[in-house]
Amino acid sequence: MGPERRFILGVDVGTTAVRAGAFALDGSARHVRTRAYPLLQPLPGWQVQDPDVLVAATLAAVSDCVADTAGAEVVALALSSPRYGVIGLDETLSPVTPLLTGRDTRSAEVARDLRVSGQSRELHRLTGTPVHPGSPLCKLLWFARHEPYLCTATRWWIGLKDYLVHRLTGTLVTELSSASGTGLFDVHRRVWSAGILDLVGVSGRQLPPVLPTTGVLRLSSAAGQAVGLPSGTPVVVGAGDGPSSSLGMAAIDSTVAGLTLAATGALRTVVAAPLVDPAETFSCAALTEDAWVVGETVNNGGNVVRWAGSALEPDSRPASDDQLAAPELLALAERIAPGSDGLVMLPYLLADRASEGESGPPGAYLGLRSEHSRGHLVRAAVEGVCLQLGGVRDRLAELTPVSSVRLAGGAFRSPLWRAVMAAVLDCPVRASSVADDVALGAAALGLFAIGLAPDLPGAVAQLDPEGARAEPIAVDSALAAAYRGLRTKLPALLTVAGRLGEILDAGAGLSAPARP
């Protein structure tokens, strides 16, 4: 059977949907299927899911992909998921908690206490995971404080992908990438940290064994029947979504950063060994044992411009998930001069991970004048997001050289987003055409794991030949100069905004004046 009739499945189990991609081994075809599921918010700050609902959606998406490749051989199934989820299991391996997603911020007070006490620095140094409410470490401390009775009923603490692997193969394990996102794993010694486990009140026997991300298990008979694959089909445990995204974008050279921008944004690069920044903002996660992805996710990405569109023109045609803002509004913004005629937006509508549970800088429009139009407000929002990500690139370059950037994500289908981001970065920039970077990255890692690709770059090029020819974006020198000038002003503007935020927070508890 030729390579055109052989496929590998890459499965991206995301926060609100699973995307399963079937990739032909010669890069000639791909089939992508999606199944959505709800994100539940039973209390403020709580964002949870039923893990069995996610498993059912994954099985359905994989089954759809298998049907799309009817008559072809599926050589393996490879997985990826967010790294920060937590599930408690009992002795029978049944959930005793929902999946606490990375967006669940109930442990904000725990994270704040660890930072105030100074413990966060050493925890970050050991684990590569910043102390923030999304991390499993903080979630487990929250359980110990608030639900100790549940802790006694919990035999295992695992992540989302660990649960999915168990349901697919019957084996309860984790892997190096997911373990390195828990805040419990010593990334330098590659073991669960005994000192950190003592801190959170968890024993090593409550955590699963750690496999390499290239570990291969076998599909169980029951799971095979559910998805239409033979039992014994290889299942590659895979890596977290961030590392998988970097691989799918082919941003795995140590001098190349991968920048993704959809509702949120992320900028990452790959290094040969764990690298921890002293500012405690970057995470460091394994792709493989000798490839580690370091970078930062920002909560304020394309969702900021989506908010601006809905607030400024609520009756306009709603934007698609890829557009993030109505095309009409982006067209207005394109007519505005760089710098938005003195209008600056600080795009902190949501707290970023480094400041979740704390005040942090507030979002703000600064320099607003009567001559500013809707186009100015939207362009300033685009510029604010891009300037924020440019700052992440600058801080990352202080740790490791970054000479070029690859862009991916729905936002960069807009010429305005591409032009502003390239000018802010002011370095060689290419726009990737990859629409399913995480699923592709999972599939490429799987292809390498089962020995059908010589290395990771070769695996990506084999499955996605067009991706290697990502489109270069010309940097407008005048635009770049304008943004360099604006960036010099940002520290002072952030200081002013932070002070205003403190004043507003101090007045938030004042009672309204009594009515006569």
The band of 351, judged by pLDDT with boundaries at 50, 70 and 90, is confident
What residues form DSSP beta bridges with 482?
Answer: none
pLDDT at site 138? 97
Tokens of 354: 């480094």
Can you give the pLDDT at residue 384? 95
Give the lowest-confidence range in 91-105, 157-171, 177-191, 459-473: 459-473
Q: Is the pLDDT of residue 409 over 90?
A: no
pLDDT in tens, 300-314: 888 898 888 888 776
Annotated domain spans of the chain? 3-244+437-469, 251-431+476-506
Examine the pLDDT at 413 and tell me if it is beyond 50: yes
**pLDDT value for 381:** 95
Per CATH, 3-244+437-469 and 251-431+476-506 having the same topology is answered yes
Model confidence over 245-259: pLDDT tens digits? Answer: 999 999 998 899 999
Per mean pLDDT, which range of 138-147, 220-229, 403-412, 439-448 is the poorest? 403-412
Question: Which residue shows structure tokens 């998921």?
Answer: 81
Mean predicted confidence (pLDDT) in 346-372: 78
Q: Alpha-carbon distance 369 to 388, whole Å?
A: 23
Is residue 490 scored above 90 in pLDDT? no
Mean predicted confidence (pLDDT) in 324-349 = 88
pLDDT (mean) for 106-121: 95
Across the range 86-98, mean pLDDT stands at: 97
pLDDT value for 314 = 64
Which of 132-136, 199-203, 319-323 is predicted with the least confidence, judged by mean pLDDT?
A: 319-323
Instruction: Output 509 or 422, whichever has higher pLDDT.
Output: 422
Q: What is the mean pLDDT of residues 367-389?
A: 94
Mean residue pLDDT across the chain: 90
Lowest mean pLDDT among 112-121, 191-200, 419-428, 499-508: 499-508
pLDDT at residue 77 in the model: 98
Strand partners, 22: 9, 31
Pairing of strands 87-89, 234-240: unpaired
Q: So what's the pLDDT on residue 320?
A: 53
Burial class (CB in 10 A: 0-12, 13-18, 19+), 335: exposed
- Average the pLDDT over 74-95 and give the result: 96
Is the pLDDT score of 337 beyond 60?
A: yes
Question: Is residue 141 predicted with pLDDT exceeding 50?
Answer: yes
251-431+476-506: in CATH 1.20.140.70: no
**pLDDT (tens digit per residue) in 313-335:** 766 655 555 556 678 888 999 99
SS3 sequence of 273-322: CCCCCCCCCCEEEEEECCEEEEEEEECCCHHHHHHHHHHHCCCCCCCCCC
CATH of domain 3-244+437-469: 3.30.420.40
Average pLDDT over residues 64-86: 95
User: Quick one: pLDDT at residue 287?
Assistant: 97
User: If you average pLDDT over residues 228-254, what whole number do you get?
Assistant: 95
Tell me the mean pLDDT in the region 111-126: 95
For 150-188, write each residue's pLDDT tens digit. 998 999 999 999 999 999 999 999 999 999 999 999 999
- For 383, the 3-state DSSP assignment is helix
pLDDT band at 469 (very low <50, low <70, confident <90, very high): low
pLDDT at 511: 46
List all residues 6 or more positions away from 260 whose beta carbon is below 8 Å from its beta carbon: 245, 249, 266, 407, 408, 409, 437
Per-residue pLDDT at 319: 55
What is the distance between the alpha carbons of residues 344 and 497, in angstroms, rounded to a whole number? Answer: 12
Residue 249: predicted pLDDT: 92
The CA-based dihedral angle spanning residues 4, 60, 161, 202, taken in that order and rounded to the nearest 10 degrees: -160
Backbone angles phi, psi at 133, to 5 degrees: -60, -25
Q: Are 325 and 305 in contact (CB under 8 A)?
A: yes
